[in-house]
Structure 1
């Protein structure tokens, strides 16, 4: 393939794909794995070094090298260099809130049937981990509208999304405000294919979801506690505009592989949250009641109090930490842009000469 063919491929490739190929470039994130399997992610910056208690590694040794290279520090420590996978990136990126784990994001994409070209809305953006996966699923010609109540979280999410995609994604829009108010004001009734909610009280959004979701559309909820799960399910049943909800959780257990010592790992990613999915029925249709109903569906006050942030163990995040995370998320994007501008300037000067 000649240079012109390569350039044409880059212009027609899905957004962000070009940044996943080729040699390492200044401004991008690289995952270093040492001889003991410990991993660290760095942002390549010309003229700087990665320092550890076992010497330092100059970033310039990596810039321009192919992915999968082996490099040595000044004291002979070897490192394997690869671009972080999506699962690695979301667990190491700057954050202001807990991220949706890759195992849950994968379930949301598959069980929510998020397809290329779909029109999706989400609420509870947090640090942008799920937004990144949703954008990959809908593609450049799809549509993702994310709603977030806090400006700080929106800034962190925007920085993380632009870092992994190399700039603003053409399918993404992010708005500030309460989901149940903003989504009906900004989206046409019946115009949305999928709704994904990651929030404390999704049952408060029943009318908003029923308004914007197209008949047959999927609504998937991510909640942390049994109480939230129960109340959301009962609210959906009582509403009558949706199918009988299904709920589950996923657990991932790794395995130790060394010769004949093949066994489960001592640690695993167990409960992180519950997922629940339901679908919008056609207007005027009432959902079928389950064959067996629970004998008690009312909630006492102590049940309602169980889903407050303090009760579910959610730690408050200081404004200082959020501002720092937002700066970290945006700094990588700015570093990469500065490097690209510098390279363009050098190229222009060479052509002028």
Structure 2
């Protein structure tokens, strides 16, 4: 039985063509691709790639300037933050939640709209595996080319489950019986009709948007559409901690707002969603003039006294 695509590049001794992440004593990172006969150069000295080729992962190499570097394969989270970019990447914290909260399972048939630089595509392809399918749609050819290069560089070549189409999702979607749909785009509410036609009953739609206005419009559009369940929306923030003996404190920097996520499920055909039984906040759907409270008790007496003083 053959290994899943890309698995051989994730384990074993370093080989020619492997990406290696080098960490110096100060924690600074350098990523190189191993080539026989080449050398890594910095102001701290150099060492030949051949010292790492055939060595086990987790080895330490020393430059001619006597600086040590720890050599490991980059994790997917490391790779997507350092790879070439066209559009902004989906951060690992959001990609991980998309895979989990949208329930991307091995063998799933997934449609992705808005490929960007290919960061989320890598996570989705690892989740669906060789037996699943990921159909990605991207409007801009320059973004599509960058994404293709990043995905193929990560997996060591074309992934058998991936199809990349240049064009709008609304005009080009041909997939049917889709299990999951992930929309990373400016106006996901424009794609709800084609999403409803493509998704199987119970299928999940997951949207990634940047602003509160996009979030509000997408949620309201899903509610009004009639083919989807009540949307769930959230954001996440990640804060690292400095731990050095008894000096335990949060880092001064953190990954704060990157975007909002929301999910909803496809209803069966002909089924009306249950009525929402919740009371919206005052003014949630427009400006409402606040009623004037009646004057009673001592407030009424104070008002009368003020009126008498005004008459005098």
The equivalent of 1:98 in structure 2 is 88
Residue 296 of structure 1: CA displacement? 4.7
Q: Which residue of 2 aligns with 1:223?
A: 209
Answer whether contact 1:194 1:218 (CA < 8 A) is retained.
Answer: yes
One of 27, 46, 50 as aligned partner of 1:37: 27
Instruction: Judge conservation of contact 1:244–1:289 (CA < 8 Å) in 2.
Output: no
Tell me, yes or no, if structure 1 residue 214 matches structure 2 residue 200.
Answer: yes
Does structure 2 retain, via aligned residues, the 8 Å contact 1:112–1:194?
yes
Q: TM-score, normalised by structure 2?
A: 0.88
Choose the corresponding residue for 1:187, options 171, 175, 178. Answer: 175
TM-superposed deviation, 1:240: 1.1
Q: Which moved further from structure 2: 256-265 or 125-134?
A: 256-265
Query: 2:153 aligned to 163, 166, 177, which one?
Result: 163
Q: State the match for 2:266 in structure 1.
A: 280
**Counterpart selection for 1:109 from 91, 94, 99:** 99
1:126 equivalent in structure 2:
116
Number of aligned residue pairs: 285
> Which protein has greater RCO, CA pairs closer than 8 Å, 6+ apart?
1
Greater share of helix: 1
**How does 1:1-353 map onto structure 2 within 5 Å?**
12-183=2-173, 186-188=174-176, 191-291=177-277, 292-293=279-280, 295-297=283-285
Measured on the aligned residues, the alpha-carbon RMSD in Å equals: 1.4
Q: Which runs of 5+ in 1 are unaligned?
A: 1-10, 300-353
User: Distance in 1 between the 2:263 and 2:66 partners?
Assistant: 52
Flag the structure with larger Rg. Answer: 2
Q: Give the deviation of 1:93 after TM superposition.
A: 0.8
Query: C-alpha separation between the residues in 1 aligned to 2:159 and 2:102?
Result: 21
**What does the per-residue CA deviation read over 1:226-264, in whole Å, with 9 as the maximum and x for residues that have no partner?**
000000011111111100001000111111111111111
> C-alpha distance in 1, partners of 2:4/2:82?
24
| TM-score (ref. length: structure 1) | 0.78
In structure 2, list runs of 5 or more residues that go unmatched: 288-312
Q: 1:287, CA displacement in angstroms?
A: 1.7
Question: Is the contact between residue 234 and residue 297 of structure 1 (CA under 8 Å) also seen in structure 2?
Answer: no
